[in-house]
Chain A
Amino acid sequence: MPYRISRLGHVEIRSLDLDRDLDHYVNVLGLQLTGREGKTAYLKGWDERHAYSVCLTEADRAGMARMAFRTVDPEDLDYYEKRLQDFGVKYEVIPEDYRRGRALRFLAPSGHTVELYHEMEYTGNLLPAVNPAPWPEDLKGIGVPRLDHTLVTAPEPHTAIQFFQDVLEFRLSEMLVSPDGTPLAAWLWQRPAPHDLAIVPGRAGGFHHAAFVVDSTDALFRAADILARHKVRIDYGPGRHGITRGTTIYFFDPSGNRLETFGGYSAYQMDPDSRPVTWTQDQITQAVFYYAQELNETFLSVYT
């Protein structure tokens, strides 16, 4: 099966107070502010090469407004448009958006607004394209290089998981199954990494977290130091997930949206031959928090 989605391109996160929350995203998480228009600020990690990966929009509620996946080639957008039609999925064509070209927008069975697009203004990362150093100086806060994945909630996870598998051709890297074999939660990929998107049980349209990369154990502990120094509420970590093997810190932005620093460096690489890993329901605690071996009270009950 060809690989047609290059990554989770951007997420739109709602903020109860844009100026306040921008301080967190820029000075603690360390994203680069690349634009601001009306009630939305556009941000990206220093190693991202397009105009933005996070839209932070002031609203009367917290949560995620949309997630957008970027296709590998322009033709892949046409390919998915045909698939949406074949599967009878109603979609809307968004001719253009801020520094972005044509997109297809539809509602997934999980209750989330999903977009597919290809064109976005190419800005390059923060390093020169010729003879670059390994990382830029003067990063603020954690200084995350890029957005990694998002995890969302769905009232009928198996239906939503099936939709992303069938219509958008995501593959399962890992799944948590009930004793009768029904998937209760799944980690889905197209990019060769353990997940671009994950789905767990919960309210329709719920936003569990968006994750940003930290790329070493040093960076993981430095991130924890920075969060604690700024008295950010840390939900869990530093720790490690059994699922994906990734290291993690869960924390909240000032509007209560959960964010994560995800250690892709500790996770495995996907390969076209990879087959799904299964976790049984009785082992969920270690699947989620490998060291604690128990779920914290907030993991499945606190999200926006």
Chain B
Amino acid sequence: MTETYTITLLPMGEVLPCTPGETVLSAILRSGARVFFGCTGGGCGVCKMRLISGHLGYGRYSAAALSEEERREGFFLSCQARPLSDLTVQLTETNKYRKVATFFGQPPKPQ
């Protein structure tokens, strides 16, 4: 995982760079946007997103947080998943995506 990939977020069409080895969640937060997330350990499942195209490493996560069936339908946990190619990701209302103001080039603390 030494390449830099891009993540396209739908429905907005926002395109973000993802640094090598970075998780999808981390790339989104670093871009100055916010989404709803929880434990960041792959345990709670609230940061679930849906992959439309591309390949990713799913990382280590709780089978109770992401079922096999959900995974077959394209869902992944954004706090654990790392891109293996350019990705297109569909966000839903549960992800609560919003842009935030940045200070000294950094977004404020997640809420």
B-binding residues in A (CB < 8 A) = 14, 16-17, 60-63, 233, 235, 252-258, 296-298, 301-304
Contact = CB atoms under 8 A, between A and B. Distances in A.
Nearest to B111: A297
Where chain B touches its partner, the secondary structure class is loop
A17 B60 contact: yes
B41 to A, nearest CB: 3
B38 A255 contact: no
Where chain A touches its partner, the secondary structure class is loop
Contacts, number: 72
Given A16-B60, A60-B62, A253 B46 contact: no
24 contacts: A14-B62, A16-B60, A60-B62, A61-B62, A61-B65, A62-B41, A62-B44, A62-B62, A62-B65, A63-B64, A252-B39, A252-B40, A252-B43, A254-B41, A255-B42, A255-B43, A255-B62, A256-B40, A256-B65, A297-B36, A297-B111, A302-B39, A304-B39, A304-B64
A302 B36 CA distance: 10
Contacts of A61: 43, 62-65
A298 B38 CA distance: 6
Given A16-B41, A61-B65, A256-B41, 4 more contacts: A61-B64, A253-B41, A257-B39, A302-B44
B58 interface: no
Nearest to B43: A256
A252 B62 CA distance: 14
Contacts of B97: none
Contact of A257 (B43, B60, B61): B43
Nearest to B36: A297
Interface centre among A16, A257, A301 (most CB of B within 10 A): A16
A243 B38 CA distance: 23
Interface in B51-75: 60-65
B38 A63 contact: no
Closest CB pairs A-B (n = 10): A256-B43, A256-B41, A256-B39, A62-B43, A302-B38, A61-B64, A61-B62, A62-B62, A252-B39, A60-B63
Interface in B88-106: none
Contact of A304 (B36, B44, B60): B44
Given A16-B61, A17-B60, A301-B38, A63 B46 contact: no
